[in-house]
């Protein structure tokens, strides 16, 4: 089964997909377009944001949620471009038929602290404090928000769309010494919550220990610092809460992007910018890998082409999340269907899904091919002799483990193991037949030994399929 077959089969089984750009559930009580991390910096790169808004408009949404990082440098100009793009698609906050479309925007770390982030600025030249106070949003949030959106700006605000409440919690500026106001706000808000009706809590970082928290599946806790756990503690008293967040830039075709425990938490993906991956992959893109100075033989997969979002539909008895990528305009996998109501089942707990998941498998007859590259270069551009290991994609695979095995006198020994992504990972690409490749430097391998390479597919829950094996070769 190819990746195309796997995605198509999953979408068919879900039975909840969109048809010809129109949702198949006209009886939905609420439709919300969902994005995060649109990172608009100039008119020319608002194209994905505009494309997503048009798709939402075609699907008759009642509102559009963006869970932070509207811009990158945190300038007023960036927010002006966001507002202009919004008005172009939804003039007067209205659809073509005159219906109001609620704008559910909140600020992320780049919007309020971008003025001190060197990585956000060309040539890493952050502005002087004087220039920042003149041009950056952090110092003018109230005035600029009122001018652009004709509404009051508050760090935490509650909006209602067709009877459903959205709590929008914007990033507070650590650079300016601001404090989190969530605990005080929740003290007053919690008693007003209807326990029998879903409500939506929206912030930029994922609530701690929820969606995308791979460490809950026996991995290392490595991406702390985004959320201090306050939101998780407060939301855990409300099983009817759905938390929507972004910031991580993790792909939403990863099934760990939705989590259920005491409440439901959903990763809204990344609409523009660098897509990050979990660490340790030979062609991945992870902050912790960069900080560690890890030597990799491969450049990252095309992380700038990942453009993702969702359409959320709310019904009396369920919520449906349609995952979408805006590069090829295709689905990212089976819809997430979340039952709602008192005592409703919780099908998106991590551990039961891991146990029930099916290991990915290579097609019958799949083989591993080897290629010597005497003029290779590693990710840093350093020249080195390399061996490239190539094999076909496996249906349902999240990534692949490739082992170099040396033949010793009386046993075989794994001398180095690597993990690698398929070249079109996270794009939902249909019909791709491009092989997976994993590259080794020859100086990583034992000289003078016979080596063979094994490739084994893993799903996102860490369950492996069967390995395929190359011929023996003397290095």
Which ranges in 3-128 belong to alpha helices (H)?
3-14, 47-58, 76-89, 109-113
How, if at all, do strands 383-391 and 436-441 pair?
Answer: antiparallel
pLDDT higher than threshold 70 for residue 16: no
Contact indicator for 226, 247 with CB cutoff of 8 Å: yes
Residue 92 CA to residue 88 CA, distance in Å, equals 9
User: In angstroms, what CA-CA distances link 27 with 144, 163, 196?
Assistant: 38, 15, 20
Interval 330-373: pLDDT, tens: 999 999 999 999 889 999 999 999 999 999 999 999 999 999 99
Range 125-151 average pLDDT: 97
Q: Which positions ≥6 away from 349 have C-beta within 8 Å?
A: 259, 260, 261
Predicted pLDDT of residue 38: 97
Residue entry with tokens 């799949």? 366
Predicted pLDDT of residue 475: 85
Interval 152-197: pLDDT, tens: 999 999 999 999 999 999 999 999 999 999 999 999 999 999 999 9
Among 104-118, 197-211, 281-295, 442-456, the range scoring the smallest mean pLDDT is 281-295
Residue 416 β-bridge partners: 404
- The 10 Å Cβ neighbour count of residue 62 is 20
Interval 322-342: pLDDT, tens: 999 999 899 999 999 999 998
Range 87-108 average pLDDT: 97
| Type and span of the H or E element at 297 | none
Tokens of 262: 């005491």
Range 56-68 average pLDDT: 98
Residue 371 β-bridge partners: 388
Interval 383-417: pLDDT, tens: 999 999 999 999 889 999 999 999 998 999 999 99
Interval 447-463: pLDDT, tens: 999 999 999 999 999 99
Range 90-118 average pLDDT: 96
pLDDT higher than threshold 90 for residue 309: yes
Interval 221-233: pLDDT, tens: 765 557 899 999 9
Predicted pLDDT of residue 8: 43
Predicted pLDDT of residue 224: 54
Q: Which positions ≥6 away from 206 have C-beta within 8 Å?
A: 212, 213, 226, 227, 243, 245, 246, 247, 248, 265, 267
Interval 258-292: pLDDT, tens: 999 999 999 999 999 888 999 999 999 988 887 77
* DSSP category for residue 209: T
Residue 115 β-bridge partners: none
Crossing angle of helices 141-149 and 76-89, rounded to 10°: 20
pLDDT higher than threshold 80 for residue 471: yes
User: What is the DSSP annotation of 228-279?
Assistant: -SHHHHHHTT-TTEEEEEESS---TTSGGGEEESSSEEEE---SSSPPP--T
pLDDT higher than threshold 90 for residue 25: no
| Size of the chain in residues | 475
Say what percent of the chain tops pLDDT 90: 79
Residue 62 CA to residue 337 CA, distance in Å, equals 19
Q: What CATH topology corresponds to 369-474?
A: Immunoglobulin-like (2.60.40)
Contact indicator for 308, 271 with CB cutoff of 8 Å: yes
Q: Who has greater pLDDT, 311 or 433?
A: 311
Contact indicator for 203, 210 with CB cutoff of 8 Å: no
Predicted pLDDT of residue 225: 56
Torsion of CA 102, 153, 211, 401, to 10 degrees: 100
Residue 46 CA to residue 7 CA, distance in Å, equals 29
Domain map of the chain by residue range?
A: 3-272+307-356, 369-474
pLDDT higher than threshold 90 for residue 214: no
* DSSP category for residue 365: T
- Indicate whether this model's pTM tops 0.85: yes
Q: Which positions ≥6 away from 29 have C-beta within 8 Å?
A: 162, 163, 164, 314, 315, 316
Interval 411-441: pLDDT, tens: 999 999 999 999 988 887 665 678 999 999 9
Range 101-124 average pLDDT: 94
pLDDT band at 150 (very low <50, low <70, confident <90, very high): very high
pLDDT band at 218 (very low <50, low <70, confident <90, very high): confident
Buried b (16+ CB within 10 A) or exposed e, 112-128: bbbbbbeebbeeeebbe
CATH number, domain 3-272+307-356: 3.60.21.10
Predicted pLDDT of residue 219: 80
pLDDT band at 113 (very low <50, low <70, confident <90, very high): very high
How, if at all, do strands 199-205 and 164-169 pair?
Answer: parallel
User: What is the DSSP annotation of 9-27?
Assistant: HHHHHHT---BTTB-S-TT
Residue 280 CA to residue 283 CA, distance in Å, equals 9
Residue 163 CA to residue 160 CA, distance in Å, equals 6
Q: Pick the closest to residue 110 from 29, 175, 157 (CA basis).
A: 175
pLDDT higher than threshold 70 for residue 135: yes
- The 10 Å Cβ neighbour count of residue 349 is 12
Whole-number average pLDDT of the chain:
91
Range 233-237 average pLDDT: 98
Residue entry with tokens 């932070």? 68
User: In angstroms, what CA-CA distances link 156 with 11, 244, 391?
Assistant: 36, 15, 50
Contact indicator for 241, 190 with CB cutoff of 8 Å: no
Predicted pLDDT of residue 387: 97
């Amino acid at each position: 089964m190819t990746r195309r077959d796997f995605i198509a089969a999953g979408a068919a089984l879900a039975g909840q997909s969109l048809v010809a750009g129109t949702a198949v559930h006209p009886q939905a009580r609420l439709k919300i377009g969902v994005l995060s991390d649109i990172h608009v910096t100039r008119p020319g790169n608002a194209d994905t944001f505009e494309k997503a808004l048009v798709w939402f408009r075609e699907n008759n949404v009642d509102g559009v949620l963006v869970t932070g990082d509207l811009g990158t440098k945190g300038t007023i100009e960036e927010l002006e471009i966001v507002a202009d793009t919004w008005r172009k698609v939804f003039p007067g906050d209205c659809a073509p038929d005159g219906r109001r479309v609620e704008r559910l925007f909140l600020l992320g770390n780049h919007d309020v602290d971008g003025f001190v982030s060197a990585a956000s600025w060309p040539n890493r030249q952050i502005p002087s404090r004087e220039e920042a106070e003149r041009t950056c949003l952090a110092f003018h949030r109230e005035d600029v928000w009122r001018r652009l959106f004709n509404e009051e700006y508050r760090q935490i605000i509650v909006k209602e769309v067709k009877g459903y409440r959205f709590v929008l919690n914007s990033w507070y500026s650590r650079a300016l010494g601001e404090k989190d106001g969530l605990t005080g706000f929740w003290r007053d808000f919690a008693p007003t919550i209807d326990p029998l009706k879903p409500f939506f809590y929206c912030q930029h970082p994922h609530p701690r220990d929820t969606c995308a928290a791979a460490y809950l599946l026996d991995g290392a806790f490595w991406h702390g610092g985004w959320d201090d756990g306050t939101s998780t503690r407060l939301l855990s008293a409300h099983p009817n809460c759905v938390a929507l967040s972004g910031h991580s830039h993790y792909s939403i075709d990863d099934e760990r992007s939705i989590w259920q425990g005491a409440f439901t938490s959903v990763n809204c993906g990344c609409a523009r910018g660098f897509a990050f991956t979990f660490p340790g992959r030979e062609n991945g893109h992870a902050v912790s890998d960069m900080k560690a100075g890890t030597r990799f033989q491969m450049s990252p997969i095309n992380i700038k082409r990942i453009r993702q979002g969702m359409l959320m539909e709310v019904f009396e008895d369920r919520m449906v999340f349609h995952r979408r990528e805006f590069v090829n305009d295709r689905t990212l996998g089976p819809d997430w269907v979340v039952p709602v109501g008192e005592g409703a089942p919780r099908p998106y707990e991590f551990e039961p899904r891991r146990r029930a998941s099916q290991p990915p498998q290579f097609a019958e007859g799949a083989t591993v091919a080897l290629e010597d590259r005497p003029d290779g270069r590693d990710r840093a551009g350093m020249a080195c002799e390399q061996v490239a290991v190539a094999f076909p994609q496996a249906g349902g695979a999240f990534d692949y483990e490739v082992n170099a095995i040396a033949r010793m006198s009386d046993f075989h020994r794994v001398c180095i193991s690597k993990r690698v992504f398929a070249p079109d990972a996270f794009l939902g690409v249909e019909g791709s037949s491009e092989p997976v490749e994993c590259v080794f430097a020859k100086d990583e391998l034992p000289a003078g030994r016979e080596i063979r390479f094994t490739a084994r597919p893993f799903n996102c829950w860490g369950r492996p399929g069967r390995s395929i094996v190359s011929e023996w070769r003397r290095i």
